[in-house]
Amino acid sequence: MDFYVFFVFAMFRQHRTKFKIMRQKIYSFILTGIMTFGVYGFSYSQDLSSTLIKKIENEIALTFDKSIKAGEELDVTGISECINDSLKTGFIDNGFYFKSFEELMVGFKSGIKGLEYQKMNIDTKKITVLSENNALLTAHGSSSIKVVDGRILTGVFAWTFVYSKIKGEWKVIHSHMSNPKS
């Protein structure tokens, strides 16, 4: 009788161990599936219809054109209307990091004193829609600036703007602007 009880207990223990291992494998499989779906599902841009992508690209282009016009007119308010700095992502201008848009604008405001105008010619512009509410715009071109003493200064630029749709409007939340040597 003792042998029979021992045998039943040993079989029960062996099955319990197998069940525990099987349960761990099932949990691992489920967790792996969830993680795989999570990484795949959220690490790439949203699947958007071509119609929606075109609509977003047009909206971004209009916002960008508005900021170019404000820049050419040396309109600080017009430039500021295209920016939302609430996320405090920072701005980079010619290798210098600015913690806020206001900090960047201090230099711009002092730099435009003594200028009559600036003209920007966009040679290349690419808009990449990342999601329904986020997009990138990269641009390259040349500029000419007329100083009040009559001199005209020329140069080239390369820009990257990160746009986010905030309260129904596309705003720049981060920019990286460079003036590479021509």
pLDDT in tens, 55-114: 999 999 999 999 999 999 999 999 999 999 999 999 999 999 999 999 888 888 888 888
pLDDT in tens, 114-142: 899 999 999 999 999 999 999 999 999 99
Assign 181 a pLDDT band (cuts: 50, 70, 90). Answer: confident
- Ramachandran angles phi, psi of 111, nearest 5°: -70, -25
- Does residue 26 have a pLDDT over 90? no
The domain 50-178 having CATH identifier 3.10.450.50: the answer here is yes
- Does residue 36 have a pLDDT over 70? no
Supply the pLDDT for residue 110. 83
Supply the pLDDT for residue 112. 86
168: which residues sit within 8 A by CB, 6+ positions away? Answer: none
CB 79 within 8 A of CB 89: no
- Does residue 48 have a pLDDT over 70? yes
Give me the residue spans of the domains in the chain. 1-44, 50-178
Q: What is the number of other CB atoms lying within 10 angstroms of the CB of residue 41?
A: 9
Pairwise CA distance, residues 170 & 164, whole Å: 6
Supply the pLDDT for residue 12. 53
Supply the pLDDT for residue 105. 86
- Ramachandran angles phi, psi of 129, nearest 5°: -85, 120
